[in-house]
Amino acid sequence: MITRSQALAAGMTLDMLRHAIRSGGPWQRVLPGVYATFSGPLNTLHRLRVAVLYAGDEAVVTGPWGCDMIGLRYGPPLGDAVDVLVGHGRGRGSTARVRLVRTRRMPDARRWVDEERLEDARGSGPPLDVTLDPLAPSASPGVIPMAPAARVVIDTVVRPDRLPMDWRPACSPRRTDCPDCRGGRLHRASALRNVRALMCEVVQRRRASVADLRAEVAAAPRRGGALARLAMRDIDAGCRSAPECELRDLVRRSRVLPEPRWNRVLPGSRGIHPDACWPRARLVVEVDSRSWHGFGDAPRRTEERRARYAALGWRVLPVSPARIRADPDAVLAELEAAYLAGLGR
């Protein structure tokens, strides 16, 4: 991938460049001023590199493509356009391949590395860093500048109009044929679930700290940020998955249950962090979902952990995300009954 300025700085003339990108020629024009030095399709790394070259120096990738780069599984599907943060005064416009997100709050770039591509480059001989021109002063094969993980996630969720419908709190404009809008039902529940899942994941997988995420939520625009602020309150309380957040919604409806301890060390033990517990009632609640707790919590480990709970005198009440959503009243009644029974022991 090369820019027009880079090609000219390397000694090409305008005639040579036009000849290279002619119909049937060896190069192809990808975006205004950005070319591929081959004629085949672009892979993911090419598309990221093109976005940064087009946006110019100091640009960093953010949004759904950034979520994918750092390995987050609960981000939205990748669209055709790569979101790139640029300074507020940049004059270029967005294209079908690159969406420029102007900001007065440019973050320090993180260097995302495609390990496989970088290893290929190391074995090829030429130096990895090549200074070409002021538009892109450093170009490392396999290395893409991206925003910090917390910024990437919040940039993603506070712009729901750019995301699929299940990430939007409501149809806009309202569609008469949308099944999720009939009978007054809106998209808010599915959108909130997705926002919670992504924000919890970036903390759970230690890509960002709670403090980093909180700072980005506070700095985000008010418009579009309501779901992020709600999810942040759950994360501050200790929730680390979307079903835990939904369980917290349920608990907060109760006149019996106080706020439990979320994902904190079980009193009197070492190394056990239940999803939720009420020490006075010796009651532990675990959200039974390998999908949402998909970071190595195998059935054998779950069985061993619950045996330890029993040995320490704690009752374990497992609940599934599906039941929390489909039968919340029954789940809440079970929680309240178990809590009161624990108090009476």
Share of the chain above pLDDT 70, in %: 84
CA distances from 161 to 58, 172, 213, 309 (A): 26, 8, 21, 45
Share of the chain above pLDDT 90, in %: 65
- For residue 284, the model assigns a pLDDT of 97
As a whole number of angstroms, the distance between CA 167 and CA 161 comes to 9
- Residue 69 region, left (φ>0) first, then alpha (ψ -120 to 50), else beta? alpha
Q: What is the mean pLDDT of the chain?
A: 87
The answer on pLDDT for 184 being more than 90 is: no
- For the ranges 157-161, 167-171, 239-243, 324-328, the lowest mean pLDDT is seen at 167-171
- For residue 126, the model assigns a pLDDT of 39
The answer on pLDDT for 89 being more than 90 is: no
Domain with residues 242-343, CATH architecture: 3-Layer(aba) Sandwich (3.40)
Domain ranges for the chain, please list them.
Answer: 2-147, 165-237, 242-343
- For the ranges 118-132, 187-201, 213-227, the lowest mean pLDDT is seen at 118-132
Q: 91-128, pLDDT tens digit by residue?
A: 688 999 999 999 999 999 898 876 665 565 555 543 33
- Section 25-47 average pLDDT: 91
- Section 262-266 average pLDDT: 96
- For residue 30, the model assigns a pLDDT of 94
The answer on pLDDT for 202 being more than 70 is: yes
As a whole number of angstroms, the distance between CA 163 and CA 165 comes to 7
